[in-house]
Chain A
Amino acid sequence: MAAERKVVALEGCDLSAPLEGGWGVSKCRVSPMAKALLLVASLTTLCSAATAKQPESTKARQLLSRSMERVPGFNVVAVILYRALDGSDSEQAKIEIAKDGRMHRVVLQPLSREGFESVDDGKQLRTLVPDHKTILVQESPLLEQSDTVFRLSLIQQNYTLKLEPSLRIAGREAMPILATPKHIELAPRRITVDAQTGFLLKLEVGNESGRMEPRVEVKSVDFPSWLSANVFQLRTLDDTRVIQFKPRQDLTQENIADLQLQFKPVVPKKLPNGFVVQHAQINRGRFKSIAVRITDGLVRGTVYESLPSDAPEMEIESATRLCVGPVTFTVVMDAPEAVRRRIAQAFAKNVRAAEEPEAQVASGMVPGTDATPASVVNNVAPPSHLTFQVGGNDN
């Protein structure tokens, strides 16, 4: 439109005149001003064409990056319905997030968990379990550095992103992003975010029959300009039991010795299905266990390493357990059972490799014997603060 308006400024150019073997405009008398306008118009047209052809995946990545940020930059009050991976359980919660990332969450349904409350004030994450009059206190996830850039690089490697036509969810204009995995064992995901803020409005995961099942669904949402500071204070009573957990520590060569574990922690260099190790932490709860955080960009999971006697058979949602010699791996991840099992097997392979020192470098790294950070493959650089930067693809 802008280009059309500017073409009108051409002086003395008979646009209806027949062309003589070349570009008609060259035959016209054009003033310097008109030439400049013509140039601007051409550039504008080129730019707008380039913008229109901007890959959908770029727009999708921009939206995803906003929804991944732990510090949103706006206040949110929402009622969200969460469903378990196998559909066996669901939970409705009211969540309030301040623009600086502080969070308050209270469970509304089911009745058996009504009143469960979590408050993250930026320093501590406190969870009240009302029926047991217990408060669990641990450090805030907000203290971790942002991993958005790292994860976006992995998303680019492991998924094809497609922006779907906009729709309305909870009265908001929403942009669905279809993430199709490049690894066939993983499920496709549709992530629908608020078009204006990037806040996650719906998350659907493909099931075995190929149908998209909702996992997270916002029922109502508001973006108030102000939230009271009282929201981020957890109610306490005199007889409430407080369980304070020691802060997590990064797994390093130095603190492995202090830990006095009865098994060698395993941090593999290569994992299947495009997953990489993001970092490894020591959880100092009642048991000493290692939590290895893994991700393929979109899905984040944790592999817990502990003594078999400390991790007996139990029912945990989305978990797969594998016992290999002196260590038990419990993979907890929002992914199909087959994928979790392959991840567990990849960890188990490294236990065997540890028994054969020559094979160790080829198949993985066992901290305590070789804590040199592995080379980063596939040009994905993990955040610099992470202790054991590893990457790879075992497929």
Chain B
Amino acid sequence: MNCKQTQDRLSAYVDRELSSPEMLQVREHLFACRQCQEEELEYRCLKQLLVSGPTPEPTVDFEGRLVKSVLGPDPVLRAERKRPAYLVAAFAAAAAMAATLLILPFVKGNPAMKRPMANSGKSNDFAIEINRDQIYEASGDPLSGGHLSSPAVYGR
């Protein structure tokens, strides 16, 4: 998989919407390509920002307006409302894009927004020690049931 193919799939990859083989292919490419890694990080940060933003509450008359628009309002009224709706949508898109462009540079430079890494500190070090020893134990003795042989501390 090349950079273009990977970047086409990055959004779906971040949302875990790809099939398993595709996930593996993208992951493999990301493993080797620093440029795509940065792209992926940006995607993740952007999605995180969008998720963490406030959810706007609908106005009180939203339901009524929705029903009216589905059932088909008066053609005269529809024509009147067409222009303002278009303008609002365009304004919203422009505002979103501006916000994204403004936020991205800060996101890149902010270490707190980087991809979550394994916990630091002694607790994590000792957990890694135990996990690597348990990999050893599980490899030598499948009968015990033992641990899940991946060091979960890295994966979570």
A residues near B (Cβ < 8 Å) are 64, 67-68, 70, 82, 84-85, 89-91, 93, 103, 105, 107-116, 118, 120, 125, 127, 129-134, 136, 138-142, 144, 191, 200, 203, 205, 215-216, 237, 245, 283, 285-287, 289, 291, 293, 298-302, 304, 306, 309-319, 330, 332, 334
Q: Are A318 and B147 in contact (CB under 8 A)?
A: yes
Contact with A along B121-151 (1 / 0, CB 8 A): 1111111011111111101111111111111
Nearest B residue to A300, CB-CB: B144
Cβ A283 vs Cβ B20 within 8 A: no
Known: A138-B135, A330-B130, A332-B147. 18 other contacts (CB 8 A): A91-B149, A93-B149, A105-B139, A116-B151, A116-B154, A125-B135, A138-B136, A141-B137, A237-B32, A285-B129, A285-B132, A289-B129, A302-B133, A309-B122, A312-B121, A316-B127, A317-B152, A332-B134
- Contact present for B135 and A136 (CB under 8 Å): yes
Q: Is the CB of B145 within 8 A of A91?
A: no
Chain A residues with CB under 8 Å of B137's CB are 141, 293, 300, 302
Contacting residues, chain A, for B139 (C-beta < 8 A): 103, 105, 118, 120, 125, 140-141
- Selected from B20, B122, B154, the residue in CB contact (under 8 A) with A310 is B122
- Contact B155–A68 (Cβ < 8 Å): no
Q: Which of B20, B136, B145 contacts A141 (CB 8 A)?
A: B136
Alpha-carbon gap, A285 to B122, bound state (A): 13
Bound form: Cα–Cα A115–B154 in Å? 12
A127 CA / B144 CA spacing, docked (Å) = 20
Residue in B27, B132, B152, B156 whose CB lies within 8 Å of A245: B132
Interface residues of B, count at CB 8 A:
43
List, sorted by A's number, 19 A–B pairs whose CB atoms are closer than 8 Å. Answer: A67-B143, A70-B140, A90-B148, A105-B139, A108-B20, A109-B20, A111-B16, A127-B151, A129-B154, A130-B31, A136-B151, A138-B135, A215-B145, A289-B129, A298-B143, A312-B122, A313-B123, A332-B147, A334-B147
State in angstroms the CA–CA spacing of A141 and B133 once bound together. 10
- Nearest-Cβ distance from residue A99 to partner chain B, whole angstroms: 16
Name which of B122, B135, B150 has the most chain A CB atoms within 10 A of its CB.
B150
Question: Please, which residues of chain B bring their CB within 8 A of the CB of A132?
Answer: 117-118, 154
Q: Which residues of A contact B145 (CB under 8 A)?
A: 85, 203, 205, 215-216, 299, 334
Beta-carbon contact of B126 and A91 below 8 Å: no
Query: Which of B117, B118, B142, B152 has the largest number of chain A CB atoms within 10 A?
Result: B142
Query: B16: nearest residue on chain A (CB-CB)?
Result: A111
A217–B123 Cα gap in the complex (Å)? 32
Q: Which chain A residues border B156 with CB–CB below 8 Å?
A: 112
* B24 contacts chain A at the CB level, 8 A cutoff: yes
Would you call B45 an interface residue if the criterion is a C-beta within 8 Å of the partner chain's C-beta atoms? no
| Contacts A103-B139, A127-B135, A332-B147 given; does A112 touch B129 at CB 8 Å | no
Contact A115 B126 (CB under 8 A): no
Q: Report chain A residues within 8 Å CB of B46.
A: none
Q: Which residues on A sit within 8 Å (CB–CB) of B41?
A: none
